[in-house]
Structure 1
């Protein structure tokens, strides 16, 4: 009798598993918005079999104990965006942030943020981690090693595609992809974006936040330390603001105070570690000949930005190398 009950329970368990897998398979193959059905099915099966994991991917960025080096630096409690809910900047962070571009008489930061969040929603939360989420992200740098890489289709398969500064895609789609979900800029590097792209402003000074509110409304500010656009073409509902607290966290915990402040590329990578489950890096570092030019430039000897002393390029490269060696990111080195 006992053996019969065990057999019956085993049959019920197998039947339930079959139903669950059938539903998952059906959802996978009928979801035309997903580019790779078999890949998604494999991830969904993994989620079902591993409910206690940090995420639904086969490996998860946020999982601890993979590396002491990583665990000493990674702090998921540091929120990546300024928002209506996350709008208090610690005094030590604020004082450091004011020194980045030498502001001496800035407008009250909380008054500026209040005005800004009357223009943009300031309520989007990307920190929706869970054991069933598998958010894949491609952080696309601007290195010339992307030339002739043919990475484009692979980049576009990611859930999030993060780009930075000027980063043109037109005419370069074969190598860099055509999809962008989030674009990191500061006022001096801003560009018009398509309506479905989220602009992430990296503010290096109070005036940057004032400029953003102005550029989305009346357009009265047209200069920071150089000329900047009075108006920008971007959807207000998709404008996000990088948190100064995350900037200082990157500088203190990851850069160990090397250079004056982090590069846009490193800020984008650490941002991705906080909002993504799987992170792939493209277009970072020199090309195979040691050149540091951008992929849209024909001058292979360009890249004098490495000599300014603002960013410690070599130390930043060592951070990416360490992240790669412990499988927290996958680096695609191009040509």
Structure 2
């Protein structure tokens, strides 16, 4: 059993089957340049493909296809993060599963939900490299998320109702540990105007819609901006310049935002929570 630091009530039970599949030590992975490629429909307005493929490590999410979109999102994949839905599809050996060529390594970021699925996938797919974030990492990510949400609300930045971190949040926290530089693509904050007035898809490759209340897109966007503004973190947002008739607001354009006088010190204080 693993007890979370700082909490007497949160215990993660490690089964014998899972213990036998875990490595003796965490993999010692390190990359110079990393690209995290989100699934935003705004990517269809850009042509980042060649730029993305130049990175040493490329991180994607949830079976996002590349073959028909290589000009916009590139074609290479190093890691593919899977949420519970897609992890269970892999576990069930879904005949429509998108196997990348060359094979990507899979990362499961929900250790509490996917303990049994991870164990079965490791046994069924011995030739596929799979990783699962530790419960301690997931717990730390939730604490950072909660603290960030509280601090930004107290600073008057808005009311953020998202019930849990997004998969991109875990990806950023992980790559901060293993990458010298990180470029974020497709991380524009989703707004209702995008789907309504401007007919933009939530994902660049399908017609799925976000589940109401599941995530706070503004909160995550503020976090990525804070990371980019801070000199401590090697993060850059690579946002898409959408057409003028689909203008979603100035915060979605370019890679920088203007700061009003007096804001810089407050933003730097908030960025210290992301460690």
TM-score, reference length from structure 2: 0.66
CA distance in 1, matches of 2:75, 2:9: 39
Q: Is the 8 A contact 1:122 1:240 kept in 2?
A: no
Within 2, Cα distance between the matches of 1:141 and 1:209?
25
Q: Contact conserved, 2:63 with 2:80, CA < 8 A, in 1? A: no
Deviating 4+ runs (over 6 angstroms): none
Can you give the 5+ residue segments of structure 1 that lack an aligned partner in the other structure?
Answer: 1-86, 99-107, 129-133, 218-230
- Deviation (angstroms), 1:314: 1.7
Q: CA deviation at 1:317?
A: 1.4
- Return the index of the structure with the highest Cα Rg: 1
The match for 1:137 among 9, 20, 34 is 34
Q: How does 1:1-335 map to 2 (within 5 A)?
A: 88-90=2-4, 92=6, 95=9, 109-111=13-15, 114-119=16-21, 121=23, 123-126=25-28, 135-190=32-87, 191-194=97-100, 196-206=103-113, 208-217=114-123, 235-236=127-128, 238-256=129-147, 258=149, 259-286=162-189, 290-291=194-195, 293-297=202-206, 299=207, 303-305=209-211, 307=212, 309-326=213-230, 328=233, 329-334=235-240, 335=242
Cα offset for 1:284? 0.8
Q: Distance in 1 between matches of 2:47 and 2:14?
A: 46
Q: Distance in 1 between matches of 2:8 and 2:109?
A: 14
The normalised TM-score by structure 1 is: 0.55
Structure 1 residue 325: deviation in Å? Answer: 1.9
Query: 2:184 is paired with a residue of what secondary structure?
Result: strand
Unpaired segments ≥5 residues, structure 2: 88-96, 150-161, 196-200, 243-275
Q: How many residues were matched structurally?
A: 211
Q: Deviations over 1:105-132 (max 9, x none)?
A: xxx7222xx412434646452455xxxx
In structure 2, do the counterparts of structure 1 residues 95 and 163 end up closer, same or farther at CA, with 3 Å as the change threshold?
Answer: farther
